[in-house]
Amino acid sequence: MYKIYDIYNTLDTISPFELQESWDNSGLLVGNKQDSFDTICLTLDIDAQLLESLPNETLIISHHPLIFSPITQLNYDNMATKFLYTMIKKDIKLISLHTNFDKTHLNSYFAKNILKFDGKLKEEYIYEATVDMSFDDLLENIATKLDKNSIKYIKTQHHIKDISIICGSGASFLKDIKTDCLLTGDIKYHDQMAAKAMNIGLIDIGHFESERHFGELIFQNLQKYLENKEINVIMPNITNPQQEKTFE
């Protein structure tokens, strides 16, 4: 069995928890640093089916924290308390790496390794790359690498010189965008209107699509830690909870 504090310190070296935003809740959320584990689960999110499938004393390393708002009642009628009930019964621990990991790894990895755009990270979250192609060709380029059914867009220019890429929900950074186009997820109606007024193109690929590679990326970064250790690693096949319906 291995101790939580050891892998926690390793994760803190990979992506320091102090880099998280003030509103975030990354770190050790369930369990104690002296607790033991011999199985780790690397996942974007937690759901009921995943928790039921995990063996007792598993350590979950997730991207999205299970707990954001203060919990004032343990009545098990919302997602956090319902899942916590199962986790406590099964002695399942949880460490989350959210905005700190976005800054240090996920945004750059997604842009470089998934979209294959060569550029650089600016202002912590914003990855900028030169693409120099028509907007339509850019859409087609991205669609070949992702689930094209999830892509939505606002076209403001016919030619795109450069693009900004932010995983998750990055529309709040519109005022900081210096490129012709922003690619992110969860773009709301008023964000679309603002971008159009600013003459910035938008490509919405969905929150899930931009962050689904968290598990494989954190696994790569844990290779040195896992070396010569008898730790069972679980990487669940996660799916987008939002289902599309075509009406005939």
pLDDT profile of the chain (248 residues), mean per 10: 96 98 97 97 96 97 95 87 96 98 97 97 94 97 85 96 97 96 96 96 94 97 96 90 57
Q: How crowded is residue 29: how many other Cβ atoms within 10 Å of its Cβ?
A: 18
pLDDT at 244: 58
Give which of 141, 166, 130, 171 is closest to 154, Cα–Cα.
Answer: 171
**In terms of domains, do 57 and 142 share one?**
no
**In terms of domains, do 187 and 215 share one?**
no
pLDDT at 243: 62
Query: How far is 109 from 166, CA to CA, in rounded Å?
Result: 11
Instruction: Provide the domain count of the chain.
Output: 2
**In terms of domains, do 93 and 133 share one?**
no
CATH number of the structural domain spanning residue 131: 3.40.1390.30
**In terms of domains, do 20 and 61 share one?**
yes
**In terms of domains, do 58 and 124 share one?**
no
Residue 239 falls inside a structural domain: no
Tokens read off for 88: 């406590």
Q: 60 pairs with which residues across the strands?
A: 41, 94
Query: Within the chain, where are the H helices?
Result: 4-14, 48-53, 79-90, 99-101, 107-109, 135-143, 189-197, 207-211, 214-221, 223-226
Residue 56 falls inside a structural domain: yes
Domain end, chosen from 187, 204, 221, is at 204
Residue 241 falls inside a structural domain: no
pLDDT at 247: 42
Residue 35 falls inside a structural domain: yes
Residue 244 falls inside a structural domain: no
DSSP 166: E
Residue 48 falls inside a structural domain: yes
Q: How crowded is residue 225: how many other Cβ atoms within 10 Å of its Cβ?
A: 18
Domain range for 75 is 2-97+211-234
Residues 181 and 164 sit within 8 Å (Cβ to Cβ): yes
**In terms of domains, do 8 and 71 share one?**
yes
pLDDT at 74: 83
Domain end, chosen from 165, 183, 204, is at 204
Query: How far is 49 from 72, CA to CA, in rounded Å?
Result: 25
